[in-house]
């Protein structure tokens, strides 16, 4: 009997591998950071080969250092940074350029042109997404237009496109696939028909031959090359990181919601088996598709409302790497807690533009209210408070769209371990914030999807019963103070908007 599910959690700044046991507990973890490439302001790239090598190394190290063989692993689940776009040569298996990361804004002007042509409603109706440079479609168009010879090769069927899940699975198995949750983030996938959309492909000049085959999020989709880990292993779970975290948080019923505090902040609410059109600039996306004989079926697909703030943990990284006011990210809570408030400073962490509900790619990071008395502690506190304020805007929009009040918000991600910030978040939202015992929910979701497919776990009910609370943060802030804080935040946001001309 296999003892573990191996989850690969390929994030924006690091590649991780985690072994989960039958109780859903992380048995062992390995992690490796990789290079962030910033060729120009607003551009963000990754070396796809470096991502693959880092992911392979942590897999092998995890198994080696824990005396785990392929026989101990029932299946592999893959979860990944979403929207990041890789284009590679089918013959050589080599990328034709650096991957363009989800944070990259180089195609804002193309999105503006499409919007001026009146296409925004078409994209939103078909894909559930706001027409924005955040998603993969216009990144792929840019690569086809700017990499010498790429468009001609694509037309000859010599190139393959994929998000990071597709790239990793291709390297592991040779299969060119993606799941519905990742396909739904490309701005090329029709979430109603659950298929690539020919009209959108034509509009963006993207040959259909580039695209991966779409498979369920849970189901044996491929097997690893035998030499990779000692024996062929089934790749049985695939989901974009935020959908995986929602599944890992056991938000399996309509109305349940979670917020992940990673590089960015991602709040998602399960709305059930039918997509809900957002009236408030949120995204409607596929959550996951469970296995029905290997086919992608609507009656096995859950949908999620999503609001994204592009910068969360990245603000703390900036305090560390950009300003040097902390040596390690773990120091930020103590520094921020050393002052009772931010001293009137308000920090809008719009380093990569503003996400939901503003969708302003031309906004930039802004700090207002600085005086001679402002210290590094005030800046640290303002940064954490700014991250929390973004989520209030998102939740308000989400509750209007879903037509249901939230009773609690489940949280995860690195910054969810920051007690000061979680208490402030509960105070601002006026909703209890609940942190689970297992905060590795992104990897856990991928593990659950893979484990369901190979009967490592028997049912959704078994998975739901494994969720355990570690701490609950109850709101304590007065109505007047909450309104005052959000008024200051709204004023600061207005000053950050449309900064790039």
pLDDT value at residue 244: 96
Query: Which tens digit of pLDDT belongs to each residue from 171-184?
Result: 999 999 999 999 99
**Main-chain phi, psi angles of 265, to 5 degrees:** -115, 135
Rounded Cα gap, residues 482 and 416, in angstroms: 21
Query: Which tens digit of pLDDT belongs to each residue from 221-268?
Result: 999 999 999 999 999 999 999 999 999 999 998 888 999 888 888 899
Q: Quickly state the pLDDT bin for 190 (edges 50, 70, 90).
A: very high
**HSE on the CB side for 342, CA within 13 Å?**
23
pLDDT value at residue 346: 97
83 is in an annotated binding site: yes
371 is in an annotated binding site: no
317 is in an annotated binding site: yes
Q: Can you tell me the mean pLDDT for 147-168? A: 97
82 is in an annotated binding site: yes
Q: Quickly state the pLDDT bin for 473 (edges 50, 70, 90).
A: very high
14 is in an annotated binding site: yes
260 is in an annotated binding site: no
202 is in an annotated binding site: no
pLDDT value at residue 297: 80
134 is in an annotated binding site: yes
263 is in an annotated binding site: yes
pLDDT value at residue 408: 87
pLDDT value at residue 220: 95
360 is in an annotated binding site: no
Rounded Cα gap, residues 220 and 222, in angstroms: 6
Q: Quickly state the pLDDT bin for 294 (edges 50, 70, 90).
A: confident
Q: Quickly state the pLDDT bin for 20 (edges 50, 70, 90).
A: very high
Residue 178 to residues 170, 248, 289, 339, 451: CA-CA distances in angstroms?
Answer: 10, 19, 12, 47, 18
pLDDT value at residue 371: 96
16 is in an annotated binding site: yes
> Is residue 350 predicted with pLDDT exceeding 90?
yes
- Per-domain residue ranges of the chain: 4-248
pLDDT value at residue 309: 86
Q: Which CATH class is domain 4-248?
A: alpha beta
Q: Can you tell me the mean pLDDT for 2-31? A: 95
Q: Which of 86-90, 272-276, 377-381, 399-403 has the lowest mean pLDDT?
A: 399-403
Rounded Cα gap, residues 96 and 90, in angstroms: 10
313 is in an annotated binding site: yes
């Amino acid at each position: 009997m296999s003892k573990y599910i191996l989850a690969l959690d390929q994030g924006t700044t690091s590649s991780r591998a985690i072994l989960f046991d039958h109780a859903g507990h992380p048995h062992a973890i390995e992690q490796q950071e990789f290079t962030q490439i910033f060729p120009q302001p607003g551009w963000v790239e990754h070396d796809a080969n470096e991502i693959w090598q880092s992911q392979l190394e942590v897999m092998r190290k995890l198994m080696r250092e824990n005396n785990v063989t392929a026989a101990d692993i029932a299946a592999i689940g893959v979860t990944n940074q979403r929207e990041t776009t890789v284009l590679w040569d089918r013959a050589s298996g080599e990328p034709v350029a650096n991957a363009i990361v989800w944070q990259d804004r180089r195609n804002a002007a193309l999105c503006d042109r499409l919007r001026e042509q009146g296409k925004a409603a078409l994209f939103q109706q078909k894909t559930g997404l706001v027409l924005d440079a955040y998603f993969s479609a216009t990144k792929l168009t840019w690569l086809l237009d700017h990499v010498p010879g790429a468009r001609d090769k694509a037309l000859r069927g010599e190139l393959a496109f994929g998000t990071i899940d597709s790239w990793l699975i291709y390297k592991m198995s040779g299969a060119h696939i993606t799941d519905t949750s990742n396909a739904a983030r490309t701005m090329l996938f029709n979430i109603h028909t659950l298929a690539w959309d020919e009209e959108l492909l034509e509009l963006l000049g993207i040959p259909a031959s580039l695209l991966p085959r779409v498979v369920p999020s849970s189901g044996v989709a491929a097997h690893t090359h035998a030499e990779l880990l000692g024996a062929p292993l089934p790749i049985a779970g695939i989901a974009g990181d935020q959908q995986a975290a929602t599944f890992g948080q056991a938000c399996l019923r309509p109305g349940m919601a979670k917020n992940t505090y990673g590089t960015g902040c991602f709040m998602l609410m399960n709305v059930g088996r039918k997509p809900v059109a957002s009236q408030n600039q949120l995204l409607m996306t596929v959550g996951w598709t469970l296995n029905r004989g290997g086919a992608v079926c609507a009656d096995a697909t859950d949908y999620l409302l999503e609001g994204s703030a592009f910068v969360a943990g990245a603000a703390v990284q900036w305090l560390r790497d950009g300003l040097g006011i902390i040596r390690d990210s773990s120091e930020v809570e103590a520094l921020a807690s050393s002052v009772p408030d931010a001293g009137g400073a308000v920090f809008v962490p719009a380093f990569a533009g503003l996400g939901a509900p503003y969708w302003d790619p031309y906004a930039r990071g802004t700090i207002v209210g600085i005086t001679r008395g402002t210290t590094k502690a005030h800046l640290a506190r303002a940064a954490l408070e700014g991250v929390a304020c973004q989520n209030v805007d998102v939740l308000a929009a989400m509750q209007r769209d879903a037509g249901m009040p939230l009773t609690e918000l489940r949280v995860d991600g690195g910054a969810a371990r920051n007690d000061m910030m979680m208490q402030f978040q509960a105070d601002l939202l006026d909703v209890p914030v609940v942190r689970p015992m297992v905060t590795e929910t992104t990897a856990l979701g991928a593990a659950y999807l893979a484990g369901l497919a190979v009967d490592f776990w028997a049912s959704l009910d078994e998975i739901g019963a494994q969720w355990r609370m570690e701490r609950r943060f109850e709101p304590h802030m007065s109505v007047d103070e909450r309104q005052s804080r959000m008024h200051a935040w709204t004023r600061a946001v207005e000053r950050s908007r449309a900064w790039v001309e």
